[in-house]
Amino acid sequence: MFGWAKGRTAVPRGLVRYYVLESLSERPMSGSEIMDEIERRSEGCWRPSPGSIYPLLAWLQDTGHVEELPRDRSGLRRYRLTPEGKKLLQEERKVWKRMGGGVGFFPHPWGPPWLRLPPERAAELRRAMRRVVAAFLEAAGALGEKTSEEALKSLCEVLEETAERLEEVSKELRRGKG
């Protein structure tokens, strides 16, 4: 439905950096552990290549956003966020939130909104979201060129009511009632 099939992924600009920063905000990780984590969170839909992860880690290190930890017994190079990296992550979160909120950007179903949820919980939300999107696309497609004002008004009302209910749930969650 969303055009993100494994092996044919066109990742939005900045998404890899966002995923790397989010992953490192949880715990220090090596490049391969970051790739594993992204693959796990995307339920196997996407595994970034070493060619995208390691140059990014080098850039983040050069710019002071991550630091390499001493190698442990496994010999892996693990990285952690620096205070500057944590600031960058906060900025990235704001950008992704803004992109997902009212500017016509429809985020990928396993992108930033789902990133901090356990995979099984994110899967529940994605299933529900896919159902809503599929129902909307079906209804919008049925409108056609000769749609009555009444039908269009009805569809808009359903969408407005749905948005209002979601906004109410969001407010309750932010107040700690969810």
User: How would you write the pLDDT of the chain (178 residues) with one tens digit per residue?
Assistant: 334 444 444 666 788 999 899 999 999 999 999 999 988 877 777 889 999 999 999 999 999 999 999 998 888 999 999 999 999 999 988 887 666 543 333 445 545 566 667 777 777 887 888 788 778 877 877 777 667 888 889 989 999 999 999 899 989 988 886 5
How far is it, in rounded angstroms, from Cα 11 to Cα 76? 27
Distance between CA 37 and CA 31 in Å, rounded? 10
The CATH classification of domain 15-108, taken from the options 3.10.180.10, 1.20.1060.10, 3.50.50.60, 1.10.10.10: 1.10.10.10
Cα–Cα distance list, 22 to 1, 81, 83, 96, 148 (Å): 26, 10, 14, 12, 47
Is pTM beyond 0.85? Reply is no
Residues 2 and 129 sit within 8 Å (Cβ to Cβ): no
Residues in contact with 128: Cβ distance below 8 Å, sequence separation at least 6, in sequence order: none
Query: What pLDDT is attached to residue 61?
Result: 97
Closest CA to 37 of 22, 23, 17, 18: 23
Structural domain boundaries in the chain: 15-108, 119-174
User: What integer pLDDT is reported at residue 101 of this predicted model?
Assistant: 42
